[in-house]
Each structure stands twice: as C-alpha cells, then as structure tokens.
C-alpha cells in the first residue's frame, strides 16, 4: 500500500480540499507540508461547510492531522481557526492535531512588512495575500526565524526578537510603516505559548513510526505547481516549493515515503491575483465559468480569473511536479457548452512552444494555441460512474489525458464528497 501526496497542477484553487477529504477516508494520517494560512480549502459535508487554511483537511474525517516543519504557522490564525471549527463540531485536540516543533512562526511584523512592500510596488503588485508568508520564509533561510519550539524557552525568544526587530523595524521604517516593540511581541508570544505548545512534537518521529507500522499517510499540498517558487510563473508565485518533492523535506520523511503523486486540476482553469494566464477569457464564457464554478478565493474572497483548460501548462506541472495521476474537478461547470477550447501550446514572437518559458516578458507575451473539442448537452453533475457521463464528456477527459501525458485517476462532478468517479485508488498503487 502506497502513501499519497496531493498537489495542485495549475495555479491553486483546483478543489484539493474535497479530494483530500475524500481520500482521507482511506488514510490514517493527513500531513500539511508547505505554505501557510494563505491557502484555503473548502470542504462541503452535508449541510456543513468547513473553510480551512492551516488545519489539515483530514481532521474533518476524524483523522490525525499533522502540520509539518515546511509550513509557516501564524499562531493567532491557527488558534482562531481551531476555535472556529470546534464551534462547528470538530474535535481538535493534541490527540487529533500535531505540529512540528521546528516549524517557523509568522508574527504580526511579517504581515505588516508584506503589506507595506505590496503597497510600495504600486501597479507592479504581485498579488500577495499580505499575511506574512513570504517574509516568514525569508527569516527562515536567513536563520533569524522564531520556531514553535522557541515558545518553550523565554530567554531564547527574547534574544531572537532582538535580531528579528533589528531587521524588520529597519525595513518598516524605510517603507513608512509602523514599527514594533519587543516587549509587546514577547508578552503576546508568551501568552500564546501554553495554547500552542501542547500540540508540538518532533513529528518526523511519529511519521517514521507510522510508516514502519504500515499506516497510510496522505500528504496535503497547498497552492499549486505553477505557484512554486522555483518552477512557477516567477515572481507571481508563492514563497515555498509546492511540488511533491517538498512533502519529504517539509514533513521529515525520506523521498521514498511520499508514494503516489496525485495532481489536482479543474476541467477549465482559474487564477487569483496577478501574473500571466495565457488561456484567460475576458468574455461571456469566462463570466459563465466564474458564476457556475462559484469562483471566489477561500482566503482572499477575490473573484478568480477564468479561462479554458491549459493542457500545455498542466503537462509542464506533471513533469516537474512528479504527478502520476490526475484528479479532474468541476467537470459539471462545462455542461451545456456547445464548443470547448483546450490550450495545447503557446505562440511567442513567431515561435511555438509546448511549455511556458521562464522569462517574465516571454510569459506575458504568450498567446495560446487552441484545439477545439465538441461540448455536450447532457449533465455530468453528480455523476458517480463513467456510465453516468455523456459520451462527449468522456471524450473530453480522454483527450486531456493524452495532452497532459497522465491518466485521470479521479473525476469530481460536484462539491459533494461522494460525487466522485474513482478510476484507480492511489493508495493501492
């Protein structure tokens, strides 16, 4: 039996939350391994809707949730999210949630710096959520970050704050933003410590024991491959590596433990914020996709940009992300469209490409090359077997498989967790 890593194959918001929730019924442990509370997963369970940002989706299934060392954790946001889902009836205790003791903390100064920088960029905004994720990762690689384990050592915490404030207050002052006082930050962290520390442990030990015992681990990624800080549409990306290889480093397991890599992609394409989007639609079809798909960011609340499925982009994500199978979501949004377009490449300055180049100007200039496919008149919504799908919908899925060079292993036909067609169980690979 394999473990499974779930990652986004586009620009995020592909419906990972539902897929992870659905797969969690087959798992024992669900692990978040990168990102912060800038990612959002919406889970619909009967009449209840859960909006999660930091908490692993498996908690909704009653599974053990683990926040790995690759995640940057805002303690205020974490505790607020715990309180919110507890009010909805979920059990979140140190028995159901564990946090890596070496995970990096996001402090209020990180968000302040994030927002001040974005404001200073003016029209060149990247589209950050302003929640401090980028500055926290910067502190991590600069070796001045405060970690979860530091909450247990007040003297260490005080010393580290001196170093942190020397750096951040200088930047904030230069940007014309308010600076921070050490004592206020120290007092607040020490106030939060008794609520956070009961969840902390060396999670790599727990995961190693689970692996040796043959327990199934589901690694839950945030954002998506095209937002990866190395492989995405830089600089319009997130501040961490989103590819499946990060599941190992971000949770403390060896690469062989990651198992089957499942990529999530919508049957069309969306993006939040700035950055290139070759197949974006600015017409009535784009509006229709947004309305039918309820395309608003879980975290930002912003309207998502919508466009046709970009097979060249997803093929690229398959290659660099190590994707072995695809979960295709929101097929029902395309119901009733007489004609569908699929991006199969790009035209840039007279040349054609099957990949999106790395350069900023080249990405911005990329024009899609489309292949036209026939739509379908029947409904796919709620389908739970291939027999429930119109013939042209099946042809659409099969053509996507050919273009992205990866099989579709799951097909989601509505937000409801059971409206899913399972082609191949990733845990049985």
Active site residues: 13, 41
Q: DSSP readout, 93-132?
A: STTTEEEETTPEEP-HHHHHHHHHHHHHHGGG-----SSS
CB atoms within 10 A of CB 405: 13
Question: Token pair for residue 291?
Answer: 């309305």
CB atoms within 10 A of CB 42: 20
Distance CA(81)–CA(99), nearest Å, equals 14
**Helix, strand, or coil here: 421?**
strand
Phi/psi for 4 (5° steps) reads -135, 135
Phi/psi for 297 (5° steps) reads -60, 135
Question: Token pair for residue 124?
Answer: 């060149």
Tokens 């990168």 locate to: 34
What is each CA distance from 48 to 24, 113, 191, in whole angstroms?
17, 36, 32
Distance CA(322)–CA(242), nearest Å, equals 11
Distance CA(44)–CA(46), nearest Å, equals 6
Q: Which residues pair with 375 in a beta bridge?
A: none
Q: DSSP readout, 208-252?
A: HHHHHTT--EEEE--S-GGG-TTTSSTTSS-SS--STTHHHHTTT
User: What's the order of all strands across the beta sheet hosting 217-220?
Assistant: 200-201, 97-100, 64-67, 29-32, 217-220, 4-8, 260-266, 325-329, 408-412, 420-422
* Cα dihedral 240/142/257/319 (nearest 10): 40
Question: Token pair for residue 264?
Answer: 């999530």
Asked if residues 98 and 66 have their Cβ atoms less than 8 Å apart, the reply is yes
């Amino acid at each position: 039996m394999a473990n499974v890593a779930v990652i986004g194959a586009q620009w995020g918001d592909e419906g990972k939350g539902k897929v992870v929730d659905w797969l969690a019924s087959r798992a024992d442990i669900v692990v978040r391994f990168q990102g912060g509370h800038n990612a959002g997963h919406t889970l619909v369970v009967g009449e209840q809707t859960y909006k999660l940002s930091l908490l692993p989706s498996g908690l909704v299934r009653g599974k053990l949730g683990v926040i790995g060392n690759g995640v940057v954790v805002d303690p205020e946001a974490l505790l607020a999210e715990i309180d919110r889902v507890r009010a909805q009836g979920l059990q979140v205790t140190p028995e159901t949630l564990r946090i890596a003791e070496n995970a990096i903390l996001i402090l209020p100064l990180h968000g302040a710096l994030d927002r001040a920088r974005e404001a200073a960029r003016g029209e060149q905004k990247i589209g950050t959520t302003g929640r401090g994720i980028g500055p926290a990762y910067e502190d991590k690689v600069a070796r001045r970050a405060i970690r979860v384990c530091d909450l247990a050592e007040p003297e260490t915490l005080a010393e580290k704050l001196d170093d942190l404030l020397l750096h951040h207050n200088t930047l904030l002052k230069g940007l014309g933003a308010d600076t921070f006082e050490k004592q206020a930050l120290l007092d607040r962290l020490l106030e939060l410590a008794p609520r956070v520390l009961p969840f902390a442990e060396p999670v790599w030990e727990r995961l190693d024991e689970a692996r040796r015992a043959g327990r199934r681990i589901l690694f839950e990624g945030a954002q998506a491959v095209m937002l990866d800080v190395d492989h995405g549409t830089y600089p319009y990306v997130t501040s961490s590596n989103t590819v499946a290889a990060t599941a190992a480093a971000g949770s403390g397991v060896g690469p062989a433990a990651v198992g089957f890599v499942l990529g999530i992609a919508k049957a069309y394409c969306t993006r939040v914020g700035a950055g290139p989007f070759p197949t974006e639609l600015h017409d009535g079809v784009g509006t229709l996709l947004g309305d039918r798909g309820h395309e608003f960011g879980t975290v930002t609340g912003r309207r998502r940009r919508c466009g046709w499925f970009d097979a060249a982009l997803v093929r690229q994500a398959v290659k660099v992300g190590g994707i072995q199978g695809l979960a295709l979501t929101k097929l029902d949004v395309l119901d009733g469209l007489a004609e569908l377009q699929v991006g199969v490449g790009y035209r840039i300055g007279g040349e054609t490409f099957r990949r999106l180049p790395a350069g900023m100007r080249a990405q911005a200039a990329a024009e899609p090359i489309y292949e036209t496919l026939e739509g379908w008149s029947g409904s796919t919504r709620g389908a739970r077997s291939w027999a429930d799908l119109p013939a042209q919908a099946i042809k659409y899925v099969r053509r996507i498989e050919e273009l992205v060079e990866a099989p579709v292993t799951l097909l989601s036909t509505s937000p409801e967790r059971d409206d899913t067609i399972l082609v191949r169980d990733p845990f049985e690979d």
